[in-house]
Amino acid sequence: MPSIDMPLDELRKYKPALTRQHDFAAFWKKGLESLRREPVSVNLSVKPLPFKGIDVYELNYIGAGGALITGELLAPQGAAKAPGVVVYHGYSGARNPAHTVVHWTAMGAVVLSVDVRGQRGGASDNAAYPGPRSPGFMTAGLEDPKTYYYRNVYLDSVRALDVLAGRDEVDPAKLAVTGISQGGGLSLAAAALDERVALCMSEVPFLCDFPRAASISGENPYREISGYLRRCGQEEIARTFQTLSYFDNVNLAGMIRARTIISVGLWDAICPPSGIFAAYNHLACRKQIEVYPYMGHESNTAFTELCMREMAREFGL
């Protein structure tokens, strides 16, 4: 599908005003404090896979609000103070299986591939979501940021870093995050909320510039928001986007201190390029955006290889 968005020269300048609420920083400070009071309680079991020189484990641990989060851990045998990489997955999916993330381990890194609560993987979601909602996750608990679905998801993304940094074989000064779509958005959010992240590699990220994305994308997941708002008046629409503002990576971007690499496809009808550029243009860290003029919402081998080279350079591999 051809681009429905701005020309590239306009995208490079697109920097919408922040929509942070007055208590934005306090909201996330309180959320992180509540997470720190939760025990991590990691449980591992060996997953027998025919890899040479790599140990693979199934694991679970306690996420935000006591939910049980699941995933897989890959570690080079004999690793000591190795870099660590958290891999977050796309919307409504499940963890990236071991054979799809083993390239990071082949570089010498310990990898944690995690499930997002309540989606297709094994992670549970024990939260209650009051109020009306449309099918999917985008409108669950949307009437209040404290009850919105992505509050706990973002905190779970930080908890994954707690798990990885707590491993003896991992150097907590060399932590990276990566993922595609929702995973790319969670990578940005985790890097904003956790200063331990040294490298953020975000592929065609979701969860960026909700007001514009919901108004121009006719595809899910943003269509879940526009569908929910179809029969709403201006007051309810404004209240909805006020809640979403706490989770918009445009508002979180300025908090990121990690080296950040982002990809964008100019034919992406699912996560519009303008939303991705909006977050990118608000970054104040060392940053890089890779533009693929004829790519839609998809993974790109060239971007993966670029990220591998950048991680090797950043962490001295």
pLDDT of residue 175: 98
Q: Is there a contact between 260 and 288 (Cβ–Cβ < 8 Å)?
A: yes
Q: Find out whether 300 and 292 touch, Cβ atoms under 8 Å.
A: yes
Known catalytic residues? 181, 268, 297
Q: Quick one: CA dihedral 239, 243, 248, 252, positive or negative?
A: positive
Whether the pLDDT of residue 1 is over 70: the answer is no
Residue ranges per structural domain of the chain = 8-311
Query: Which of 115, 97, 139, 128 is CA-nearest to residue 228?
Result: 139
Q: How does pLDDT run across 23-67, given as a tens digit for each residue? A: 999 999 999 999 999 999 999 999 999 999 999 999 999 999 999
pLDDT digits (tens, 9 = 90+) for 239-269: 999 999 999 999 999 999 999 999 999 999 9
The whole-number pLDDT of residue 4 equals: 75
Q: Per-residue confidence at 202, pLDDT binned at 50, 70, 90?
A: very high
Q: How far is CA 97 from CA 21, 47, 82, 154, 155, in A?
A: 38, 12, 21, 21, 22
Across the chain, mean pLDDT equals 96
Looking at the chain, the number of H-run helices and the number of E-run strands are 11, 9
Under the banding of pLDDT at 50, 70 and 90, the label for residue 169 is: very high
Distance from CA of residue 178 to its chain's centroid? 7
Q: Is the pLDDT of residue 3 over 90?
A: no
pLDDT of residue 76: 97
CATH number 3.40.50.9100 given to 8-311:
no
